Amino acid sequence: MTDRRLSNSTRQALPASVAVPGYDRNRVVPGIIHLGVGAFHRAHQAAYVDDCLAAGETDWGIVGVSLRSADTRDALAPQDGLYTLAVRSSDSESLRVVGSILSMLVAPEAPGAVLAALTDPRTAIVTLTITEKAYLRAAGGGLDTAHPDIVHDLANPQMPRTAHGFLAEALARRRVAGIQPFTVLCCDNLPANGATLHRLLVEFAALRGTDLARHIADEVAFPSSMVDRIVPATTDADRARISGQLGVDDAWPVITEPFCQWVIEDDFPAGRPDWERFGVTMVGDVGPFEDMKLRLLNGSHSAIAYLGLLSGFETVDRAFADPAIRQFVDGLWAEAITTLPKDAGLDTADYTAQLAKRYSNTALAHRTAQIANDGSQKLPQRIIASAMERMSGGAPPAYLMLVVAAWIAACAARGKSLPENHFTDPLDLALAALDTRHLSAGEAVAAVFDLGGFAKDGAERLTLIDLAAAHLERLRQGGVAAAFTALGIASE
């Protein structure tokens, strides 16, 4: 590690091979608040905004907000918000310093400062990447009104903990002050994410008062979006390598792939950056693109993660290089593609070909355990929805339901063939309790469906349980090879 940090004062001394912000950061004013400043945001939305700032759109600087941990703030504050984005393919790496994050706030430390930033008239857009579980949905999809943080925020609107509490209170304050509402842009992997967040926030606001709920329902824009870029966790080796190339220390660089996609519903009453100049697709309906990404990329990512973990593969590229897993993914895509709209202009052949290339990128070292987190929150959108639609069309979702069985088996393997806490899930305590009961495969799958609210009230529920149970029994008896054999896939 070096004696100097990446910062405004050291960025001009970086090697010529490193791209640096060419604009005057002192002239940039904040126009976007981002909730959930993790690696994905810094590799995706913040990079697009950085392009806009470089083109002279200086009204769109980002104020980052961490809703839980101070780690990102503590890493970036000494660096004036600067960080390195390392774009890696199997045979090359390019480094770029991103300057679009002007400052960072940590909500638990300074909720008042977060509310002040959200209420600032210059704030026109609030973006979110808070992960699926932070939307605090109950099993039926509505707001979990019994969640302790929701209860707290309703009782303490001046000191919120959740995104719901911050957004509702800020919108209430703006309304009283006569300030136009900001646009709320969800960038998480939720079905119809804008509409979903809109509904949840209206439900939350209704618990505070009907006037606020009506205002949010009628006056606040919640465009949907689809985001896509693979961003593995940064390792200590990444930090050391990148700091060595920079000649200064970067406490938290971000690693990503060359591919990047953002599709946004064009509904921004308070204005927006000219994102389309830099490759963003502005559309009237994000739905078909979102479904393709959730079901083909995210669904296969989960499949590779759980089957890879059960097969002893630590990274996506190694798992995908296994001929049997590769053949399984092709079969999974074939099932999921039949559930996508036929008249939306989707090129699924090109999309899956790009996915295969991306999964084969040996430089990313995207850990299967990282992808495996929060399966109970992810599988309903990525797998269960496809399986239900496929069944409604009269076709069996055999490949899709193996993913569910593999998730259950991988969860049960922690502390046995997999390390304890190798990945985590919001249902971990309940899942651990199930393991102590030594249930049959059918009983275990049915109990998990109940816990996760999978296919709740769906006519296909019992059939899906039976399919997943048959797969789980094979996984228990003969491992992944036995499950593949039942699908006609030969393991080597």
22-74 per-position pLDDT tens digit: 999 999 999 999 999 999 999 999 999 999 999 999 999 999 999 999 999 99
142-159 per-position pLDDT tens digit: 999 999 999 999 999 999
Coil vs helix vs strand at 163: helix
Average pLDDT, the chain: 96
Range with the poorest average pLDDT among 34-38, 55-59, 273-277, 457-461: 457-461
Over residues 152-178, mean pLDDT: 98
How would you list the strands of the sheet with 101-106, edge to edge?
101-106, 61-66, 30-35, 125-128, 183-186
* 19-57 burial: b if 16+ Cβ within 10 Å, else e: bbbebebeebebbbbbbbbbbbbbbbbbbbbbbbbbeeb
Over residues 183-200, mean pLDDT: 94
pLDDT at 136 over 50: yes
Query: Confidence class of residue 1 from pLDDT cuts 50, 70 and 90?
Result: very low
Q: Which residue has the higher pLDDT, 492 or 451?
A: 451
pLDDT of residue 169: 98
Which residues does 492 contact at the CB level (< 8 Å), separation at least 6? 322, 323, 324
Q: Cα torsion for 85, 26, 68, 267, to the nearest 10°?
A: -80
pLDDT at 2 over 50: no
- For 11-17, the CB contacts below 8 A with 24+ separation are 11/82, 11/97, 13/247, 13/248, 14/97, 14/246, 14/247, 14/248, 15/245, 15/246, 15/247, 17/94, 17/95, 17/245
DSSP state of 490: P
Which residues are registered as beta bridge partners of 183?
125
Where does residue 343 rank: exposed (0-12), middle (13-18), buried (19+ CB within 10 A)?
A: exposed
pLDDT of residue 387: 97
391-445 per-position pLDDT tens digit: 999 999 999 999 999 999 999 999 999 999 999 999 999 999 998 999 999 999 9
Query: Confidence class of residue 268 from pLDDT cuts 50, 70 and 90?
Result: very high
Q: What's the one-letter identity of residue 357? A: K
CB 161 within 8 A of CB 152: yes
pTM: 0.85
- Measured distance CA(93)–CA(376) in Å, rounded: 35
77-96 per-position pLDDT tens digit: 999 999 999 999 998 999 99
- Measured distance CA(215)–CA(258) in Å, rounded: 41
pLDDT of residue 459: 87
pLDDT of residue 141: 86
pLDDT at 11 over 90: yes
Q: What is the DSSP string of 223-277?
A: --EEEE---PPPPHHHHHHHHHHHTSB-SS-EEE-S--EEEEE---TT----GGG
Work out the number of other CB atoms within 10 angstroms of the CB of residue 120. 18
Its sign, for the CA torsion 480, 481, 485, 487, is positive
- % of the chain exceeding 90 in pLDDT: 94
Over residues 110-119, mean pLDDT: 98
Query: Confidence class of residue 343 from pLDDT cuts 50, 70 and 90?
Result: confident
pLDDT of residue 492: 65
CA distance to 111, 190, 257, 345, per residue, from 348 (Å): 44, 20, 20, 9
pLDDT at 353 over 80: yes
CB 190 within 8 A of CB 128: no
Work out the number of other CB atoms within 10 angstroms of the CB of residue 399. 25
- % of the chain exceeding 70 in pLDDT: 99
pLDDT at 125 over 70: yes
pLDDT of residue 139: 75
* Length of the chain measured in residues: 492
- Measured distance CA(261)–CA(266) in Å, rounded: 15
Residue with tokens 């985590």: 424
Its sign, for the CA torsion 99, 101, 103, 109, is negative
Query: Confidence class of residue 20 from pLDDT cuts 50, 70 and 90?
Result: very high
